[in-house]
Amino acid sequence: MSNKLRAAIIGSTGYGGVELIRLLLAHPNVEITSVISSSSAGAPIAEGFPHLNQIMVDALDGIDVEQMKQKADVVFLATPHGVASTLAPQLIDAGLKVVDLSGDFRLNSGEVYEQWYKHKPADPAYVEKAVYGLSEVFADEVKDAEFISNPGCFPTATLLGLIPLVKAGWADLSSIIIDSKSGVSGAGRGLSLTSHYSEINENFLAYKVNKHQHTPEIEQVLGRVAGEDVVVTFTTHLVPMTRGILSTMYVNLKEKHTEEEIIELYKQYYEGRRFVRIRPQGNWPATKHVWGSNYCDIGFSLDARTGRLTVISVIDNMVKGAAGQAIQNLNLMMGWEETTGLTFSPVYP
Ligand SMILES: NC(=O)C1=CN([C@@H]2O[C@H](COP(=O)(O)OP(=O)(O)OC[C@H]3O[C@@H](n4cnc5c(N)ncnc54)[C@H](OP(=O)(O)O)[C@@H]3O)[C@@H](O)[C@H]2O)C=CC1
Ligand SMILES: CC(=O)N[C@@H](CCC(=O)OP(=O)(O)O)C(=O)O
């Protein structure tokens, strides 16, 4: 019998689930023992996903907590919002480690969750158990966790781009504007009018303006880092590409700093953290620079005329924004080297 950690994946026919399978197949310490589907239990995996036909389990399992308890040590939930809120507590009570990729346990307040997600909130006792897995920032808490709430894709890019500045007290907290763009895989595999080819091809649009569910997540974490309430303006856009998020953030500085000082601040904050790469002056990241990888690349421009700093941060939404960060958190939880199974380079061109 193998002594690898046994992993189950729920939501496995969605983009997040399929990306977890791809990455876990290359993880030296993990064996996928159950691939779970609410809609296609019993179907052969290779039928829907020919690119995964080397996977060791043959058929999709259904959602059965007792079976998961027998088959797995850790369960990844890659399900739509509103599913993990009832499923994760059952898995935790069964003694399983849980990593939830949805938004169900990210927000401290049930009222705020309901307002932005339009779903019934999870039991607060379990929300309290969940550790917010922004790996580079909260690694110390992740290390002791049994239950991870994986950050949203936009918040991952945005928070990694803002936190060093906010933590240092250099940002005018009333001035933060975030302008984010995502590839279409961010919307999941389900069909929708906005993501079908003739609607999004050769098109570029803003959506959920001032109403995006990631706004309170960004504000909650910035507020926690700053030690005071923070509100932001956050606008999301859909770009006709498959993967990638680029967040452009505009911040007024409280006092004068040079670009060199800002770059040094970020380098020090992320020292030793392999997945955050800080760009030199005049060098800005593009989504292709991180495509298919767990990296977050961050670049800067300080406008001497306005005193305003522009921060540009990119990730692959499927990897650092979802499955990659989930595995990074598992590595930390298990006491393994943080980068285990994630050291692959971006795909280019
Ligand atoms: N796409 C992205 O870039 C990111 C996604 N996320 C989050 O990860 C989660 C999954 O996203 P994504 O993979 O894109 O979504 P998809 O829509 O592609 O996949 C979700 C999967 O969940 C399963 N599912 C649907 N309804 C239910 C249900 N009622 N009970 C159990 N399972 C259900 C389905 O699989 P099946 O029919 O096989 O059960 C479905 O394929 C979401 O919460 C999303 O917000 C987070 C960060 C980034
Ligand atoms: C392009 C697109 O539609 N993106 C989705 C991101 C959803 C997602 O992945 O949500 P979580 O990160 O919160 O789980 C959106 O804007 O709602």
Report ipTM for this prediction: 0.98
Q: Name the least confident of 34-48, 205-219, 305-319, 320-334.
A: 34-48
Question: Mean pLDDT score of the chain, rounded to an integer?
Answer: 96
pLDDT of 236 higher than 90: yes
pLDDT band (50, 70, 90) for residue 34? very high
Looking at the domain assignment, is residue 72 inside a domain? yes
pLDDT the model gives residue 272: 96
Ligand 1 site, residue 153, Cβ cutoff 6 A: yes
Q: Sheet harboring 147-149: ordered strands across? A: 30-36, 5-10, 74-77, 97-100, 147-149, 131-132
Where are the extended beta strands (E) located within the chain? Answer: 5-10, 30-36, 74-77, 97-100, 131-132, 147-149, 177-182, 205-207, 233-238, 245-252, 276-278, 296-303, 308-315
Looking at the domain assignment, is residue 140 inside a domain? no
Q: Are residues 186 and 270 located together in one domain of the fold? A: yes
pLDDT the model gives residue 2: 79
Q: Name the least confident of 26-35, 57-66, 67-76, 212-221.
A: 57-66
pLDDT the model gives residue 52: 80
pLDDT of 45 higher than 90: no
Q: Which atom of ligand 1 is nearest to the CA of 102?
A: 43
Domain total for the chain?
Answer: 2
CATH number at residue 275: 3.30.360.10
Active site residue 296: no
pLDDT of 328 higher than 90: yes
pLDDT of 1 higher than 70: no
Higher pLDDT pick, 51 / 169: 169
Q: Could you read off the pLDDT of 288-317 as tens digits, one per residue?
A: 999 999 999 999 999 999 999 999 999 999
Give the number of the ligand closest to the Cα of residue 154. 2
Higher pLDDT pick, 47 / 287: 287
Looking at the domain assignment, is residue 134 inside a domain? no
Looking at the domain assignment, is residue 137 inside a domain? no
Ligand 2: distance of its center to the CA of 187 in Å?
5
Looking at the domain assignment, is residue 121 inside a domain? yes
CATH number at residue 50: 3.40.50.720
pLDDT the model gives residue 47: 77
pTM above 0.95, yes or no: yes
Q: Sheet harboring 276-278: ordered strands across? A: 205-207, 233-238, 177-182, 245-252, 308-315, 296-303, 276-278
pLDDT the model gives residue 56: 63
Q: Are residues 184 and 67 located together in one domain of the fold? A: no
Q: Are residues 125 and 159 located together in one domain of the fold? A: no
pLDDT band (50, 70, 90) for residue 18? very high
Residue 330 to residue 148: CA distance in whole angstroms:
8
Q: Are residues 54 and 121 located together in one domain of the fold? A: yes
Structural domain containing residue 112? 5-129
Q: Name the least confident of 27-31, 37-41, 87-91.
A: 37-41
Q: Are residues 169 and 300 located together in one domain of the fold? A: yes
Which residue, judged by its Cα, is nearest atom 10 of ligand 2?
152
Neighbouring C-beta atoms of residue 87, cutoff 10 Å:
22
Q: Could you read off the pLDDT of 68-81 as tens digits, one per residue?
A: 999 999 999 999 99
Q: Are residues 116 and 249 located together in one domain of the fold? A: no
Q: Are 250 and 290 in contact (CB under 8 A)?
A: no
| Tokens at 158, concatenated | 């945005």
Q: Which of 153, 312, 322, 330 is catalytic?
A: 153
pLDDT of 234 higher than 90: yes
Give the number of the ligand closest to the Cα of residue 212. 2
pLDDT of 260 higher than 70: yes
Q: Are residues 118 and 194 located together in one domain of the fold? A: no
